[in-house]
Amino acid sequence: MIHLASLLLAGTMLAPAVAFAEDVVPADAAREATGTVIVVTGTADGYRPLDANAVKTPTPLVDVPQTITVLTREQLDDQGITQLGDALRYVPGVVLGQGEGHRDQINLRGQNTTADFYLDGLRDDTQYYRSLYNIERVEVLKGANALLFGRGGGGGVINRVSKTPDLAGTKGQASANVDSFGAFALAADWNQPLSDMVGARLNATYEEFDNHRQDFEGRFIGVNPTMAFQPGDATRIELAYNYDDDRRTTDRGVPSRSGKPLTGFDNTFFGRSDLNIATVKAHIAQARLDHDLADNLSFNVLGQYSHTDKLYGNVFASGPVNTATNTVALAGYESGTVRDSWVGQANLVWTGQTGGVGHTLLTGFEVADQDTLATRRNTNNGTVTLAERLTVPAFAYSPLATNSRTDVRTLSAYIQDQIELAQFLQLVAGVRYDEFRITGRNAINGVGASRTDRKWSPRFGVIVKPQPNMSFYGSFTRTFLPQSGDQFGALDATQATLAPEQFENLEAGVKWDVNPGLAFTAAIYQLDRDNSRFNNPVTGLPELSGKTRAKGIELSLAGRILPHWQASLGYTLQDGEVRSATTAAPAGRKLSQLPRHQASAWTRYDVTGQIGLGLGITHQSKSFTTISNGVTLPAFTRLDAAVFYDLSENLSLQLNVENLTDTDYFPAAHTDNNISTGEPINARLTVRAKF
CATH code: domain of residue 285: 2.40.170.20
- Mean of pLDDT values over 597-603: 95
* Confidence at 195, pLDDT banded by 50, 70, 90: very high
Question: What distance in Å separates the CA atoms of residue 154 and residue 157, rounded to the nearest whole number?
Answer: 8
pLDDT at 565: 95
Residue 522's Cβ-count burial label (10 Å; 0-12, 13-18, 19+) is buried
Residue type, 336: G
Residues near 70 by Cβ (< 8 Å), separated by ≥ 6? Answer: 44, 49, 52, 61, 137, 138, 139, 140, 558
* 532 vs 611, higher pLDDT: 611
CB 221 within 8 A of CB 205: yes
CA 57/CA 420 separation, integer angstroms: 14
Render pLDDT for 397-439 as a digit per residue (tens, 0 to 9).
899 988 999 999 999 999 999 999 999 999 999 999 999 999 9
**Per-residue confidence (pLDDT) for residue 28, from 0 to 100:** 38
**C-alpha distances in Å from residue 550, one per residue of 14, 553, 578, 618:** 25, 11, 9, 22
Banded pLDDT at 100 (limits 50, 70, 90): confident
User: In this model, does residue 214 exceed pLDDT 60?
Assistant: yes
Structure confidence at residue 15 (pLDDT):
36
H/E segment holding residue 527: strand 518-535
CA-CA distance, 687 to 160, in Å (whole number)?
25
User: What is the CB neighbour count within 10 angstroms for residue 170?
Assistant: 11
| Residue 29 in this model has a pLDDT that exceeds 60 | no
Higher pLDDT, 491 or 502: 502
Q: How far apart are CA 474 and CA 151, in angstroms?
A: 22
Task: Convert the pLDDT of each residue in 37-74 to its tens digit.
Answer: 333 344 556 888 777 788 899 999 999 999 999 999 99
Q: Which residues touch 354 (CB under 8 Å, ≥6 apart)? A: none
Query: 471-496 burial by CB neighbour count: b if 16+ within 10 A, else e?
Result: bbbebbbbbbbbbbbbbbbbbeeebb
Cα–Cα distance measured from residue 536 to residue 206, given in angstroms and rounded to the nearest whole number: 38
How many beta carbons lie within 10 A of that of residue 229, not counting itself?
Answer: 17
Q: Is 323 left (phi over 0), alpha (psi -120 to 50) or beta?
A: alpha
CB atoms within 10 A of CB 611: 12
- pLDDT, mean of residues 183-210: 97
- Asked whether the predicted pLDDT for residue 163 surpasses 90, the reply is yes
User: What is the number of structural domains in the chain?
Assistant: 1
Of 190-199, 419-428, 479-488, 573-582, which range is least confident? 479-488
CA distance 646 to 614: 14
Q: Is the pLDDT of residue 235 over 60?
A: yes
Using one digit for the tens of pLDDT, what is the confidence trace for 455-495?
A: 999 999 999 999 999 999 999 999 998 877 677 777 777 77
Sign of CA dihedral 555, 148, 103, 546: positive
Query: Cα dist. 136→297, 479, 556 in Å?
Result: 26, 28, 21
Q: What is the pLDDT of residue 536?
A: 62
Q: How much of the chain is in helix, strand and coil states, percent to nearest 5? A: 5, 60, 35
Residue 647 φ then ψ, to 5°: -70, -35
Q: Which of 68-77, 139-148, 413-422, 641-650 has the lowest mean pLDDT?
A: 139-148
pLDDT higher than threshold 80 for residue 447: yes
Q: Considering the chain, what percentage of its residues have pLDDT values greater than 90?
A: 73
Across 440-456, average pLDDT: 88
Give the C-alpha separation, 209 to 124, whole Å.
24
Distances in whole angstroms, Cα of residue 5 to Cα of each of 9, 63, 328, 509? 6, 21, 47, 9
pLDDT at 96 (0 to 100): 86
pLDDT tier for residue 6 given thresholds of 50, 70 and 90: very low
Tell me the pLDDT tens digit for each residue of 267-324.
999 999 999 999 999 999 999 999 999 999 999 999 999 999 999 999 999 999 999 9
Region for residue 214 given its phi and psi (left: phi exceeds 0; alpha: psi -120 to 50; beta: otherwise): beta
Average pLDDT in the chain: 88
Q: In this structure, how many other beta carbons lie within 10 angstroms of the beta carbon of residue 600? A: 23
**Beta strand 448-467 pairing with 425-442:** antiparallel
CA dist., res. 590 & res. 577, Å (int) = 4
Contact by Cβ (8 Å): 508, 18:
no
pLDDT attached to residue 39: 33
Report the Cα 335 to chain-centroid distance in Å.
24
In the three-class reduction of DSSP (H, G, I as helix; E, B as strand; rest coil), residue 600 is classed as: strand
Whether the Cβ atoms of residue 637 and residue 619 lie closer than 8 Å to each other: yes
Give yes or no for residue 20 having a pLDDT over 90: no
Percent of the chain with pLDDT over 70: 91
Alpha carbon 385 to its chain centroid, in Å, reads 38
Instruction: Specify the pairing of strand 597-606 against strand 565-578.
Output: antiparallel
The pLDDT, as a whole number, for residue 522 is: 96
Comparison of pLDDT for 543 and 33, the residue scoring more = 543
Q: Minimum mean pLDDT among 9-23, 50-64, 78-92, 235-249: which range?
A: 9-23
Burial 310-322 (b: 16+ CB within 10 A, else e): bbbbbbbbbbbbe
Provide the residue range defining the domain that includes 654: 2-690
Q: Which residues pair with 301 in a beta bridge?
A: 289, 346
User: What's phi and psi for 81, nearest 5 deg?
Assistant: -100, 135
More confident residue, 122 or 152: 122
Quick one: pLDDT band at residue 537, thresholds 50, 70, 90?
Answer: low
